[in-house]
Amino acid sequence: MRISPSKAAALFAVLSLLFASACRKHHKRIAQVPSAPAPQPSRRPQPAPLAVPLGYSEEGLASWYGIPYHGRHAADGEIYDMETLVAAHRVLPFNTWLVVTNLANDKAVKVRIIDRGPFVSGRIIDLSKAAARQIELLGPGVARVRLEVIAAPANIPSDDFYGVQVGAFSVHDNAEHARLLYAQRYVDTQLAVKQGSVDMWRVIVGRETSIDAAQRLAQVLSVENKTVFVVRLDETIPAPTEPRP
């Protein structure tokens, strides 16, 4: 049977419309296929920054202390045992581990900071008797050393405050009298005790959020008092484990 050209054209147009409609439905179905979920970023808790950077170092004079402080409370609250490898520093956080090297003989010892001191100009660390023995410091009593931080506790911003020690007194009433005098000019003035055969009451002025700010305050205070020291205002914090070699 023959189809006229007009009918053929009409049929072709109908078939074209049906084909286009099917293609649109096919594309529509493909567009509805869900895509693979995007990878989620890791939500592992990030470790807290350290209170003092590893590798921090300084050089200066070291001394050591034993009796009458042996068996007394250190500044961090624990009992000071002069036969353990511990030390005192004015600003490093408690439970910071250091390598202390005697620059005269290159002997080194690892110590943990538990106490505050020394409060003598030019000195940067007070070692326990055991630590001093290991680097041959007992005889001379004072030697030039290098300190290097090898482990530190996590930083606690609320604990990062510094003050200036303006005096130390063996009589509490004298210390309190000095505190009251400074309190007339400085709101943040407090006493801290260092236990020994005779307790020493330390007068501390200021509550600064950085060592630099505390040093500026120390410069102001040193005009009338030459024996001032920047010190950390402490909170007891957990001890890190000693680093393995």
- pLDDT tens digits along 152-165: 998 876 668 999 99
The Cβ of residue 79 has, within 10 Å, a number of other Cβ atoms equal to: 12
**Are residues 165 and 139 part of one domain?**
no
pLDDT in tens, 113-164: 999 999 988 899 999 999 999 999 999 999 999 999 999 998 876 668 999 9
**Are residues 193 and 163 part of one domain?**
yes
Picking from 151, 177, 206, the residue at the C-terminal end of a domain is 151
Where residue 121 sits, what CATH number does that domain have? 2.40.40.10
Q: Which of 64, 135, 116 is nearest to 236 (CA)?
A: 116
Indicate if the pLDDT at residue 35 is higher than 80.
Answer: no
Q: Which two tokens stand for residue 40?
A: 């989620």
In sequence order, what are the residues at sequence separation of 6 or more whose Cβ sits closer than 8 angstroms to the Cβ of residue 202? 119, 165, 167, 168, 175, 191, 192, 193, 194, 231
Collapsed DSSP state (helix, strand, coil) of residue 224: coil
Picking from 151, 170, 194, the residue at the C-terminal end of a domain is 151
**Are residues 96 and 172 part of one domain?**
no
- Residue 111 belongs to some domain of the structure: yes
CB distance 153 to 238 below 8 Å: yes
**Are residues 140 and 96 part of one domain?**
yes
Where residue 166 sits, what CATH number does that domain have? 3.30.70.1070
Name the residue with tokens 């120390």: 218
In sequence order, what are the residues at sequence separation of 6 or more whose Cβ sits closer than 8 angstroms to the Cβ of residue 125? 60, 62, 63, 87, 88, 89, 98, 100, 118, 145, 147
Picking from 151, 168, 188, the residue at the C-terminal end of a domain is 151
pLDDT in tens, 196-236: 878 889 999 999 999 999 999 999 999 988 889 999 987 65
Which neighbouring-strand residues pair with 193?
Answer: 201
**Are residues 198 and 135 part of one domain?**
no
pTM of the entire structure? 0.74
Residues spanned by the domain of 112: 57-151
**Total domains in the fold of the chain:** 2
Indicate if the pLDDT at residue 103 is higher than 90.
Answer: yes
Give, in degrees to the nearest 5, the angle at Cα 27 between 26 and 28: 90
* Cis upstream peptide for 68 (omega within 30°): yes
CA distances from 143 to 3, 50, 111, 123, 177 (A): 117, 29, 16, 9, 36
Q: Which two tokens stand for residue 242?
A: 């000693």
Q: Which of 57, 76, 36 is nearest to 235 (CA)?
A: 76
